[in-house]
Amino acid sequence: MLWLKAFHVVFVVTWFAGLFYLPRLFVYHTAAADAVGRERFVVMERRLFALMTLGGALAVAFGISMVAAAPAYLGFLWLRVKLALVAALVVYHLWCYKLLSDLRDGRNRHSQRWFRVFNEVPGLLLLAIVILAVVKP
């Protein structure tokens, strides 16, 4: 169980590196004025998204494997609330893919300021999820 938890936390960190940095790239991408600069952001965003998808999938897989190893976890309210917030995080992740595609295809309608606000969401979810997982209120 401790091994599963260790890898769970490792992949959570990998996932969040992307969840924090990708929307930052969107901010810089929106500000880029030249075609070469924009094309570079498209490549960086695509690669980062691939890595963070792998991190997120493994974080969720190790989380599920802990619940499978000890189904009693599902009886705890903190875990159920955490799962609801994780679902929100997955929606955010998929939303990032939509924004990435729109930027790539020149269909972006959002301002730099909007991306800055969007960038704050994973931090808030991280705070809530870690408090639930560690403090177990």
Residues binding ligand HEM (CB under 6 A): 5, 8-9, 12, 59-60, 63-64, 66-67, 73, 83, 86, 89, 126, 129-130, 133-134
Beta-carbon contacts of 97 under 8 Å, excluding residues fewer than 6 positions away, are 49
Q: Residue 120: enclosing H or E segment and its boundaries?
A: none
By beta-carbon proximity to ligand HEM, the closer residue of 96 and 103 is 96
Other beta carbons less than 10 A from residue 94's beta carbon: 11
What is the nearest approach in angstroms of ligand HEM to the Cβ of residue 135? Answer: 9
Instruction: Determine the length of the chain.
Output: 137
What is the nearest approach in angstroms of ligand HEM to the Cβ of residue 111? Answer: 28
Alpha helix stretches (DSSP H) within 32-120: 35-69, 77-104, 112-118
By beta-carbon proximity to ligand HEM, the closer residue of 73 and 114 is 73
What is the nearest approach in angstroms of ligand HEM to the Cβ of residue 42? Answer: 27
Interatomic CA distance for residues 118 and 109, integer angstroms: 14
What is the nearest approach in angstroms of ligand HEM to the Cβ of residue 98? Answer: 20
By beta-carbon proximity to ligand HEM, the closer residue of 50 and 64 is 64
By beta-carbon proximity to ligand HEM, the closer residue of 5 and 110 is 5
